[in-house]
Amino acid sequence: MTALTLGSAINAGLAKALERDEKVLLMGEDIGALGGVFRVTDGLQQRFGAQRVVDTPLAEAGIVGTAVGLALRGYRPVVEIQFDGFVYPAFDQIVCQVAKLHYRSNGRIRMPLVIRIPWAGGVGAAEHHSESPEAYFAHTAGLRVVAPSTPQDAYVMLQQAVASDDPVVFFEPKRLYHSKGEVDLDADLADAPPLHLARVAREGTDATIVTYGAQVRTALDAALAAEDEGVSLEVIDLRSLSPIDMNTVAASVRKTGRVVVTHEAARQAGMGAELIASITEQCFEYLEAPPQRVTGHDIPYPPSKLEKHHVPDLDRVLHAVDRVLERDAPGTAPGGSHASIVGGGAR
């Protein structure tokens, strides 16, 4: 096992994929000589050459459109969208071509294309540099959508995405790029959990928190804080947003009887809405309390100085836990101030 940051684990996964298959190539703005804005592709062009690690013009529609042509010709392109907010110029290519060519050709055409997107907030970036567009792509039939939260998952899931014959949107939580974890660099992909399976990040008995990406760390912090009050929280890391592993989610909710879903993206029509609808359909008779959502607000992503008020934090998650456990103080309106798991004070 080797201690790596999540960004370094992605770099190592890309290197493995390039070594394994000469048809794999990387494309993106500044990914070659510079090594990417976040240095995730650092050293790969020097190692594999400018024909396989390609610096592209600043034209996201052109990058993805070129990758579609390469995939049609038998290559396995991995494209980087420099920041999440820059994916929208390529949106037409992704939803009209990448997602539909397999269906449109009655299965004759495969689209082995990975679209890497540094994603969400936490780095104090400017406008268009911190977005949470995952629901757009999870809603689009024909795309796989995944989001690792640990260096080990980032390393393995990236290689699995490259090996997949389906197009994969690979969301990388950029506020976790520098978080460290143990990585098995000799991991056999054949022995790894399938790309679509969720992970039980922490076992518990009293309530379930379902989340993904950088919010997994917030959920684990909430579980640790709740433990001091005798509350046992189970944390489910979805890993895959399309398809969703509802078997793992439903098994946890049936065990605990209570569920909180949290994500950074806006509340309306977000992943939380889909998850809670599916949980209610599959687990209604097991639920002891209404499911709760803890999300970003229904606003354009705020400036960096205000994003701490937008991203769900420990207190907001624990407040939702209080509600599903019916621990609100008497007369307290939802979202109000009360004393409970975190010891009191305004939330």
Amino acid letter at 116?
R
- Checking if the pLDDT of 126 tops 90, the result is no
Tens-digit pLDDT profile for residues 20-39: 999 999 999 999 999 999 99
Cα 228 to its chain centre, rounded Å, is 29
**DSSP, residue by residue, 148-201:** --SHHHHHHHHHHHHH-SS-EEEEEEGGGTT-EEEE-TT--GGGSPPTT--EEE
Banded model confidence at residue 125, pLDDT cuts 50, 70, 90? confident
What pLDDT, in 10s, does the model give residues 268-308? 999 999 999 999 999 999 999 999 999 999 999 998 889 99
- DSSP code, position 41: T
pLDDT of residue 328: 55
Distance linking the first and last C-alpha atoms of the chain: 40
| Cβ atoms of residues 80 and 51 within 8 Å | no
Whether residue 310 lies in the annotated active site: no
Q: Which of 129, 263, 310, 319 is catalytic?
A: 129
Distance, CA of 69 to CA of 53 (rounded, Å): 17
Average pLDDT of span 111-135:
92
pLDDT at 335 over 60: no
Question: C-alpha angle with apex 329: 325 to 334, nearest 5 degrees?
Answer: 75
**CA-to-CA separations, 204 to 134, 191, 207, in angstroms, rounded:** 28, 26, 7
27 neighbors 56 (Cβ within 8 angstroms): yes
pLDDT value of residue 117 = 98
- Under a CB-based contact definition with an 8 Å cutoff, are residues 93 and 65 in contact? yes
- The β-bridge partners of 296 are 266
pLDDT in tens, 248-272: 999 999 999 999 999 999 999 999 9
Contact 158, 17 (CB under 8 A): yes
For residue 96, the 8-state DSSP code is I
User: What would the pLDDT profile of 49-58 be if each residue is shown by its tens digit?
Assistant: 999 999 999 9
Q: What is the dihedral of CA 29, 84, 118, 197, to 10 degrees?
A: -130
d(CA 121, CA 186): 32
pLDDT band of residue 128 (cuts 50, 70, 90) is: confident
Residue 310, amino acid: H
The reported pLDDT for the residue numbered 345 is 33
pTM of the model: 0.92
Quick one: which of 143, 161, 265 has its CA closest to 215?
Answer: 265
Alpha carbon distance 210, 192 (integer Å) = 22
